[in-house]
Structure 1
């Protein structure tokens, strides 16, 4: 049965209520986060984020980009908005490291932050803005909504390039490597499988799927021949033009947050090797099959995993603050 994708559906509303009691729980070592953190200091924070997201992003292509920002932030030194920092003469930027070089959505976050600085100066962290905005992006694409635990602070420093590169999953990672990388962040195989469902929306550059569709990557998984041929039409075997050619992760409903991604995997139509790694004889086949047939089960597990990922704290001793501008330290 296909996922019910309306953000106003009763199933998603019930999901939000069921999860309310658990969203404020954080991983060990993190400062306590709470959905009501700004109730007194900036009570309109969520309405501001929603307003900007609805007007600037809507259900368009920028919505998946905002969700991707949240993932790439949390995977490197926790959810501290370090991915937003520009390089300076004294520090590197996570933006300059592949695959972060293709990140977008920064202007949307900056616009939200600008409005909040006018309404609630020096109060709402950029890390919290990303967390709320990524939730709203999912909802605007027809997916679930949930209560976002808040109270994060912003790092004053970005991670070094080598560290950033080592802590972001690769398009050619196998299942063992994916489980390891997620596990180091306190996310188990079920969390990993559910979070991978974010690829039900958005697109990937040719350079990331070329090896899969031409059968030239070191990591090879079964691929539907007609699917491979259609992707090759967008992605020449070599050359800079091909590197820019984008393809949707899910051909049928590329801008709808549903469970079609998992049905694509079952049909061996995963765009990246790291997508198809989830299905085809591995240890999470049962989860892929369940999510592919039960959209509500996917929605429940995705929300739980998003909250869990959003609770990953920065390292102890990291200099933190509430940035006034998301692209630079105060």
Structure 2
């Protein structure tokens, strides 16, 4: 048995034991074992096909689950389209760059063919997030399922609940993480998900051209990295994409922590993790020559389950949407 498979097996056992004690009522591992026994296999098969063809979707799909859960809980509200006079979360500035909605629709269609009206869109997001991490060489974990879909999706809710990239880590922690039951460890671990994907220049341009109104670059940015970023991102650029984890942005690993330790994090929210003794220690441990990928993988899996349990709808709450973009 390979190290990765052995680690995944041990991690699965540990998480299953802990989840028995911590899952919200109505959320369970294997929730669909009788109503749609092949649900997770269907999701995995579709994601294997999609990521093999479009590996760049892994980061956006992982991010989509974050953006769903941080706004009024993991209820699939990020997937709802706007209605006349009522713009949805999709229309909020933090969500305009999200990609992969078509992927979720494709997975949902396959599940509807197999088990009509059974698997929620909220659960699909959680399963897809797990699978894209695993398919990019990250950990595998058991996802508690049984979420139901919400019917509310309001543009302003996203602005008020999603941590922006220009906040410092302390403000992020106490404004966006602590109120949702996530702690400093969850913060530094979940932000490690930036090892996958890209970012628009506009999310960090102020660090290059006008940090804190100085018309200069952020002095905490590595001085050799600044000109490289400026060569890609001109002032006012809102379309160019930059790898968040250069050289490894399609592989789930610990290398993003090395970038943070070297002053090469794109976002203020990530860079300022170095200011807190606990999160700094975690970053430096992962950024070492050998690193501790097994620790990070286990921590990431645990924090993802914890995040995925936030404010879920279960039982008779919400609904099971027939199409993820519309309420029934």
Deviation at 1:143, TM superposition (A): 0.1
Is the Cα contact below 8 Å between 2:121 and 2:149 reproduced in 1? Answer: yes
The residue aligned with 1:39 is 33
Looking at structure 2, the residues matched to 77 and 266 of structure 1 have their Cα atoms a distance apart, in angstroms, of: 33
Match of 2:148? 153
Correspondence 1:187 to 2:182: yes
Within 1, Cα distance between the matches of 2:297 and 2:110?
31
User: Would you say how many aligned residue pairs link Structure 1 and Structure 2?
Assistant: 319
Q: Which residue of 1 aligns with 2:75?
A: 80
Partner residue in 2 for 1:162: 156
Counterparts of 1:93 and 1:321, CA distance in 2 = 18
Cα separation, partners in 2 of 1:20 and 1:26, compared to 1, 3 Å: closer
The verdict on how the C-alpha distance between 1:122 and 1:275 changes in structure 2, with shifts beyond 3 A counting, is: same
Alignment equivalent of 2:11, drawn from 15, 39, 44: 15
Q: How does 1:232-243 map to 2 (within 5 A)?
A: 232-238=230-236, 242-243=237-238
Matching of residues 14-163 of structure 1 within 5 Å: 14-26=10-22, 30-58=24-52, 60-89=55-84, 91-158=86-153, 160-163=154-157
For 1:254, which of 249, 253, 256 is the aligned residue? Answer: 249
Looking at structure 1, the residues matched to 132 and 64 of structure 2 have their Cα atoms a distance apart, in angstroms, of 11
CA 231–37 in structure 1, closer or farther in 2 if over 3 Å, else same:
same
| Structure 1 Cα separation of the partners of residues 206 and 283 of structure 2 | 23
Matched, 1:300 2:298: yes
- 1:296 CA displacement: 1.1
For the residue of structure 1 that corresponds to 2:75, the secondary structure is coil
Alpha-carbon distance in structure 1 between the residues aligned to 2:213 and 2:251: 32
CA, structure 1 residues 218+128, in 2 after alignment: closer, same or farther (shift >3 Å)? farther
In structure 2, the CA distance between the partners of 1:315 and 1:143, relative to structure 1 (3 Å rule), is: closer
More helix by share: 2
Post-superposition shift, 1:216?
Answer: 2.6
Question: What is the alpha-carbon distance in structure 1 between the residues aligned to residue 320 and residue 129 of structure 2?
Answer: 19
TM-score (norm 1): 0.91
Partner of residue 313, structure 1: 311
Distance 2:19 2:227 in 1: 43
CA distance in 2, matches of 1:119, 1:315: 23
Task: In structure 2, list runs of 5 or more residues that go unmatched.
Answer: none
The answer to whether the 8 A contact 1:170-1:274 is kept is yes
| Moved beyond 6 Å, runs of 4+ | none
Deviations 1:92-146 (CA, angstroms, capped at 9, x unpaired): 2100001101111111110110011111010000000000010000001100000
* TM-score, scaled relative to structure 2: 0.92
Please give the alpha-carbon distance, in whole angstroms, between the structure 1 residues aligned to 2:119 and 2:232.
42
Mapped to 1, the partners of 2:70 and 2:213 lie a distance apart of 24
In the alignment, structure 1 segments of 5+ residues that lack a partner are 1-5
Tell me which residue corresponds to 2:229. 231
Distance 2:79 2:100 in 1: 10
